[in-house]
Amino acid sequence: MTDQTRLASAGELESVFQRELVTDRWAAAETAYALALRHRDGGDWPKSREWVQQCLQLLEGFPDETEDQVATTRVAVGGVPLPNYLHAGVIRERFGDLG
């Protein structure tokens, strides 16, 4: 996504995710978070849960002892704002039972 001000469709974000999954797993985790948020805000709880689980699974492969290790690298993905830090605790706080 080059235009971070326009809200990308879920399909566009899924395409970005697929590319990132091969090239940059941290970016893929950020995009999975954005997809979970998009689906949750759209009322699609089952899809949101899928993306929450995908994000958590990706995050398991990264260290999380320091703030630097869990700091997001982007402010937003496809117009969806990201938290400053991304780790399992943030996911569970933001998504509750979905996480």
pLDDT per position as a tens digit, 9-45: 999 999 999 999 999 999 999 999 999 999 999 999 9
So what's the pLDDT on residue 6? Answer: 75
Question: Which pairs count as long-range contacts for 42-51, CB under 8 Å and 24+ apart, including other chains?
Answer: 42/10, 45/98, 47/10, 48/95, 48/98, 49/98
pTM flag (> 0.75): yes
pLDDT tens-digit series, residues 30-89? 999 999 999 999 999 999 999 999 999 999 989 999 999 999 999 999 999 999 999 999
Domain ranges of the chain: 10-98
Residue 13: CB atoms within 10 A of its CB come to 24
End-to-end Cα, the chain, rounded Å: 26
Could you tell me the pLDDT band of residue 1, with boundaries at 50, 70 and 90? very low
So what's the pLDDT on residue 35? Answer: 98
Paired strand residues for 85: 71
d(CA 69, CA 72): 9
- Asked if 12 and 78 count as a contact pair (C-beta separation under 8 A), the reply is yes
